[in-house]
Amino acid sequence: MFTLIHFLFMLLKIAVLATAYATLTFLILYLLSKATSIKLFQKWRTKKFYTWLPIGFTYSIGLLIFSFTYWGNHGLGDSSRIPVGHGQAIYNSDGAFTYLYPDKKKTSYQLQFLTFTVSQNKLSAEKEDGRYVVFDLKTSELKEFESQATYNQYALSNSLPGSNEFKDFISHYHDYWKGWRFYLLP
């Protein structure tokens, strides 16, 4: 049910964004038609609605397609998603379970954790059992550490963030999807 409601909200946001983008594009075309004598621009100026409507439809389709791409998909309903590079994404279900599906060609497990940070193409995370891991997003190599102290030693020697810099999924999600992404993308 939440997925349907979120999808309908996303369609409404796409309609609003497409209307705004189409209007802005039409205004630019209209100003160009006044400033130049190109016949195509003159034709667009006389058929305002029939110019604006296909532009808006094109933006709508483009934004809908983008919202399901790797960089545009932020999850639907109870599941949320953050792209972290190299085709990898961090997922969260119901606000409780944070996990990553490593490259299925190289690994066959799901990495579940509480807090994390991404730096230098590496995911550093605290697992639910108190252990720490570093997952290389590029090579799918996983290193596990039994304690916070051993992880922090490794992090210090490899220029990775310390465990005190880890944040939960919700904090990372709001940091990633705020600002221009929130206002200009579906």
Look at residue 108 in the predicted model and tell me its pLDDT: 66
Q: What percent of the chain has pLDDT over 70?
A: 95
> pLDDT at position 94, please?
83
pLDDT tens digit sequence for 31-54 = 888 887 777 767 776 777 778 899
**Residue ranges of the domains in the chain?**
2-66, 79-176
pLDDT digits (tens, 9 = 90+) for 105-125: 666 678 899 999 999 999 999
Cα–Cα distance between 155 and 124 in angstroms, integer?
9
Q: Judge whether 180 and 67 are in contact, CB under 8 Å.
A: no
Cβ proximity of 154 and 134 under 8 Å: yes
pTM: 0.83
SS3 184: helix
What is the full DSSP assignment across 59-98?
HHHHHHHHTTSTTT---STTEEEEEEETTEEEEEETTTEE
Euclidean distance between CA atoms 104 and 94, whole angstroms: 24
Give pLDDT < 50 ranges for the chain. none
